[in-house]
Amino acid sequence: MLHIFKFHKYKYLLGMLLIVLGFTLPLFVFEIAFRMFGPDWLDLRMREISLNENVFFDTDYGWPIECNEIGCYKFVPNSEFLVSTNEYSHSVHIGSDGYRLNGNRTSDFRKTIPFVGDSFTFGVGVEDHQTFVSILERDSNNRYLNIGIPGNSIVQQIDIVKKRHDDLGRPNEYVFVFFLGNDFQNILESRLLAPGTYSNNIDLEDEEVDYYPTVSNNFSILATINQFVIDNRFLRELYTVQWLRHKVLILVNQSNADLMDPIFLMMRKDKEYLSESKSIFVDELRRLDDLADALDFQYAFLIVPDRHQIDSDLLKIRMDYYGIDSEDIDYMLPNNVLSILLDEHQITYIDPTECMKTQDNVNELFYILDNHLTVKGHATMAKCVGNSINDKLE
């Protein structure tokens, strides 16, 4: 009897072992296959995961910055701090008036022109003297002030100019830097987070209206599972798990959740995501015109492209990842929309997108994970806009 019991016990254990092997062995084979022969989007995804660092565009937590009811508007004068991720590490030096220093001259300039923008203007990822604002100033007779504040959009930038105009010496020209990657999104988000500042043609009381599909969706359970995978170091580094995650993402996006990088929402030809952003942007241009008249200054726009608009290979990889057909994407759609709006209001602007796209090694112009401009990216940006901006601002 005991012999029979042991036999059945070992048989049961052997069966369990075979079941486990039958389940894990195919996964092991798939894991090896994906690591050796996986698609380009999977390799890129795993490179991003290996960096294991997040950069948040909507916060400057821990930075010496001054804020009030309008938001954060300048850095603490004469401060110094470090910006560091797994992709870069650099110091930042702030001048006596709360703007980022650039190591260039402080005298013998014809006039002062502040550059107003977000983290791309500020120069997250590069040293003080490596920002495109600093590089442009070296070939100009003017003094260019870098008053970029990470995480804002023109909604906040107009308030910053209004508050700081006297402190900056009442300049008669400004340059507003518009990042195509997320500024349209940020404009809409800024209004969504600030009720009472909406234009009359946007009804926020209608809960059925989904103005921001990237954060308003009905897939909370999947989002919870996704977050669990991201937080689990073992799971997130498995190629097989990321491949399965991608298939779920495709299904979710086919249900109109559109969980993707904001620039792809702006480049979609098959869906209209720019309508409300355009309406708010026009409102902000009117507000900017009123402020310019009141304070007696002129202004121009400088456009910063997104990396997917510059790097065709990266664009193709991301389209495969999101399951978007090439005929549904127009990489110049955000530029065209913005240029039409600026032309209608007779506003001077400079768009270096096509110039930057024709440069060598375009994959080296932006960082992999947080998509800010690299040292080479800032230099290329300055090269592509240098003559135009100096001519327009002289």
pLDDT in tens, 172-182: 999 999 999 99
Q: Are 393 and 344 in contact (CB under 8 A)?
A: no
Instruction: Give per-residue pLDDT as tens, 43-92.
Output: 777 676 666 544 333 334 578 888 887 788 899 999 999 998 888 989 99
301: β partners: 176, 349
Calculate the CA dihedral of residues 221, 226, 229, 230 and round it to 10 degrees. Answer: -140
pLDDT of residue 51: 61
pLDDT of residue 257: 47
- The gap from C-alpha 34 to its chain's centroid, in whole angstroms, comes to 29
**Tokens describing residue 140:** 């100009």
Higher pLDDT: 8 or 85? It is: 85
Dmax over CA atoms of the chain, in Å, equals 103
Fold assignment, 65-208+271-393: Rossmann fold (3.40.50)
pLDDT at 320 over 90: no
Distance in angstroms (rounded) separating the CA atoms of residues 177 and 116:
6
pLDDT of residue 216: 41
One-letter identity of residue 368: I
**Tokens describing residue 327:** 């005929």
Closest by CA position to 156, among listed 298, 267, 57: 57
Q: The pTM is what?
A: 0.76
CA distances from 148 to 34, 164, 249 (A): 42, 13, 35
pLDDT of residue 15: 60
Q: How confident is the model at residue 131 (pLDDT cuts 50, 70, 90)?
A: very high
pLDDT of residue 259: 63
Q: How confident is the model at residue 208 (pLDDT cuts 50, 70, 90)?
A: very low
pLDDT of residue 204: 38
Q: Are 163 and 77 in contact (CB under 8 A)?
A: no
Q: Are 231 and 292 in contact (CB under 8 A)?
A: no
CA distances from 233 to 15, 64, 87 (A): 31, 32, 19
Q: Which residues contact 278 (CB under 8 A, 6 or more apart)?
A: 184, 337, 341
